[in-house]
Amino acid sequence: MNHGGHDWKPEQARKSLKRLLPELEAEFSTRLEPVAFDWHRFKNRLHREWERLFSYLHELYGWQYDFHYTLERILRSLIESWLERPEDLRRLDERREAEPEWFQSQEMVGIVLYVDLFSDHLAKLKDNIPYFKKLGLTYLHLMPLFVSPHGENDGGYAVSDYRSINPDLGTMQELEEVAAVLRDEGISLVLDFVFNHTSDEHQWALRAKSGDPDYMGFYFTFPDRELPDQFQRYLRDIFPEVRAGSFTWNDELQRWVWTTFNSYQWDLNYANAEVFRAMAEEMLFLANRGVEVLRLDAVAFLWKRLGTDCENQPEAHTTIRAFNALARIAAPALLFKSEAIVHPNEVIRYVHPDECQLSYNPLLMSLLWEALATQDVRLLEHSMRTRYRLAAGCAWVNYLRCHDDIGWTFDDDDARSIGIDPASHRRFLNQFYTGEFPGSYARGKKFQENALTGDVRVSGTLSSLAGLEAALERDDSELIERAVRRITLLMGIQVSIGGLPLLYAGDEYGMINDYTYLHDPRKVNDSRWVHRCRKRWEAKEDLADLDTIEWRFFRETAKLFNLRKRLPALYNGGMEVVETGNPHLFAFLRAHAEQRLLVVTNFSETDQQLDPRFVVPWVPGGEALDHLTGTRITVTDGLMLEHHRAVWLDV
């Protein structure tokens, strides 16, 4: 609707709010009076965000006859959840609103872990806070810990109830306690928001199965193959080894159900305003438990459109922005992290202060591995030069490994522009990291080989992929040293290049692959379990123990993390790739608050020389302090870097 170019939406937005708010204020008056001052601030935020919220919701649901009802229900949910927000979280909201860029600090360092694998249950997690502190961690992501099906559950990514914790792990009250203790210790709690799908055992799915039309409307179900076949033509299979196609026949319903991932993960239908409203309530419920960052799972798949691959649709962005606006109003301390493991052009579109302030950085992750295997940094250099910059107020979450597989994401034209054939390069990388390539040190496992397209991804721990497993097996100290250096090389970049480094628990002590999943029928078909290790390292501070490989890693990791915190130049912000004239050397400049750091890294298996022409201009005095070793280095004759070594020069 366009009335002569005049944008009618702001006016209509104000009108709607004017109608709705007084009624709701009257309805909630007895609960609002005692918190009059806070309510005032809530309303300020509401007025600040309302226009955009209205416009997102209008875009998604404005065509439905009951749009005004949708607005009312959502506003009511907002007020209710805000009323339930505990006092200390409201104070946290104030602090975060006063300092919205808190997460950009170089002090931020994260870890992600499965509670059962790490500490059996929530109660014992608290005992590990000293361990976290030693590593300097400020951000703790607990992998899905909600009630989920007993059999296969995709590592918890099939959620049956967003409000209950899996009883093996603890209770919601324990989670709140953990959140509060962590908050006191300066550690932010991060949880997943698995909002693209529920498990087929969620109440909504159960009611849908029983034939309740309201709940059938929560999902995509089809009486026959007509539409599924039309959609399917454009869809990719995420787990091709498990099953072909994105639809599952359900006997109870006698219908096909849309299941992008596993057959027990039912995609939610966000074209239904009730789904949006219901999930918004779950989101705000989690925020009120003390969760400070929600990792938005599988964002790319949220919206379906016939004739497209149903990934990264514009409405997926609008939906997330609408959630973002709700959070800004009712739980402003809450941030979003996007999990979009898709083409780099698309990944970046989810990152915006109005959408997800944080995002995984799959491009950096995959290209670090790429450069390690090829010992050639040109693709990394080229891609980072052009693709690293984010909107102000946002940050990358840089990771080397996570609970998922590695897919070789990079732009094909980027590769071609430096003479790399993308398809054969990906084949090479798969062969290299699964150890098939002659001379490879890596011990990865194939993940989800697609018989039709030949695509495959790679599973494996940081250490096993970097050669430690093979080196330990051979008990060869020279090979062990090489593997250790490769790992520290990658970690050094992860903590310095800009953004929040996220450690995958276990990597701080050099965890290698765990093959026990092969004997578990619930896991054997999913090689990602090879890096979701059962084995644990008890960090006993027994001095006799300190020479072990585990301690060596632990010390290196803690050193890098803590060094990061001391260097203002590493505050999130600009990163400038610096030319080295040597295809094995990757270098970049970080600058902030009067400090400049020149980071130079050597990806080669041999020592490499940085020509004086490329380093002298950055180091006017000819000499600079290297923060990694604490020594001063003269660069007038260039710089000699041993294999897999790096320098962080204060220039």
Of 466, 358, 483, which is closest to residue 406 (Cα–Cα)? 466
Kindly tell me which of 255 and 532 has the beta carbon lying closer to ligand GLC.
532
Please say if 481 is a catalytic residue. no
d(CA 64, CA 417): 47
Judge contact between 507 and 401, C-beta under 8 A: yes
- Pick the catalytic residue from 237, 297, 411, 526: 297
Which element (helix H / strand E) includes 135? helix 129-135
The amino acid present at 169, given as its one-letter code, is: L
Which element (helix H / strand E) includes 192? strand 188-193
Residue 172, both tokens: 């919601």
DSSP H helical ranges for 67-113: 67-83, 87-98
Judge contact between 272 and 221, C-beta under 8 A: no
Residue 45, both tokens: 């935020």
| 62 exposure class (CB count in 10 Å sphere: 0-12, 13-18, 19+) | middle
Judge contact between 153 and 183, C-beta under 8 A: no
> How would you classify the pairing of strands 500-504 and 110-113?
parallel
> How would you classify the pairing of strands 255-258 and 146-147?
unpaired
- Pick the catalytic residue from 339, 405, 414, 514: 339
Please name every residue paired with 160 in a beta bridge, in sequence order, or none if there are none: none
Residue 615 CA from chain centroid, whole number? 35
Residue matched to tokens 């914790």: 165
Please name every residue paired with 590 in a beta bridge, in sequence order, or none if there are none: 575, 597
CA distances from 130 to 133, 136, 185 (A): 5, 10, 10
Q: Put residue 575 in one of left, alpha, beta given phi > 0 → left and psi -120 to 50 → alpha.
A: beta
The amino acid present at 490, given as its one-letter code, is: L
> How would you classify the pairing of strands 255-258 and 221-222?
antiparallel
Sheet order of strands, 255-258 included: 221-222, 255-258, 247-250
Residue 164, both tokens: 């209950």
Of 202, 94, 181, 189, which is closest to residue 139 (Cα–Cα)? 189
Kindly tell me which of 38 and 411 has the beta carbon lying closer to ligand GLC.
411
Please say if 297 is a catalytic residue. yes
Residue nearest to ligand GLC (CB): 157
Judge contact between 503 and 461, C-beta under 8 A: no
| Residue 631: how many other CB atoms lie within 10 Å | 9
Packing angle of the helix pair 172-184, 87-98 (nearest 10 deg): 40
d(CA 395, CA 389): 9
Please name every residue paired with 249 in a beta bridge, in sequence order, or none if there are none: 256
List residues binding ligand GLC (CB under 6 A). Answer: 154-155, 157, 194, 238, 261, 297-298, 339, 341, 403-405, 407, 457
Kindly tell me which of 49 and 405 has the beta carbon lying closer to ligand GLC.
405
Q: Indicate which residues carry an active-site annotation.
A: 297, 339
